[in-house]
Amino acid sequence: MPGQPVPSTPAAAPMAAASPLALLMARLVAGDGAAFDALVRALQAPAMRLADRTLGDRAAAEDVVQQALTRLWSAAARYDPARGPVEAWFRTIVVNLCLDRRRALRPVVPIEAIGELPSDAPDPLAAAIAADGRARLAAAMAQLLPRQRAALAMFHGDGLSMAEIAQALETTPKAIEGLLGRARIEVRKLMGPEPL
């Protein structure tokens, strides 16, 4: 009715200003299961890429994304559109679960035991050099601190800005700049003098 105040709750954000995912979140909070299905379709693939790059283990990444989606369902009412888009909120959930998982993981297979994947590339020498570079990079990444690895995965893997990474890691863009710088120096040191 004109002239009456509109309640100011996260679910009652102005419809015109709300993103499609924020509208889906509001529907989810209201109990709409179809909204959850739509959110899963929108958020699952980017979350899987981020988790896979951060953890370096597809099965563990699938577990993390499943946990994150469960948390999305159970904690939907805690989403506040005033604090940022749904994608950033969900990315923070995924990153935190990845960091928790990385802290709990213990290596079970020595890095030397990991074999190279066969390639369809026509030049075996170039393929071998590229595979060696990827293996050295993966080994170096595995030795980084979990927050450094997550920041590199988001910056270089997903192309996120420092502000977006800062939001996901709950810090400042300046801190992310330093974190990325230290991570790159550490990766170069761990990979050794041979070029990629």
For 20-57, how does the pLDDT look when each residue is reduced to its tens digit (9 = 90+)?
998 999 998 898 889 999 999 999 999 999 999 888 88
Q: pLDDT, tens digit, for every residue of 139-191?
A: 888 888 888 888 888 888 788 888 888 888 888 989 989 988 898 888 888 88
Give whole-number Cα distances, 152 to 29, 50, 165, 168, in Å: 33, 10, 9, 13
What is the rounded (10 degree) CA torsion for 42, 145, 169, 158? -40
CA distance 88 to 168: 6
Q: Compute CA 8 distance to the chain's CA centroid, rounded to the nearest angstrom.
A: 30
Residues 6+ apart with CB under 8 A from 69: 40, 43, 44, 47
CA distance 88 to 84: 7
Which ranges constitute the DSSP H helices of 13-159?
20-29, 33-55, 58-74, 86-104, 124-143, 146-152
Band of residue 8 on the pLDDT scale cut at 50, 70, 90: very low
Taking residues 87-115, what's their average pLDDT? Answer: 76
Residues 6+ apart with CB under 8 A from 116: 128, 131, 135
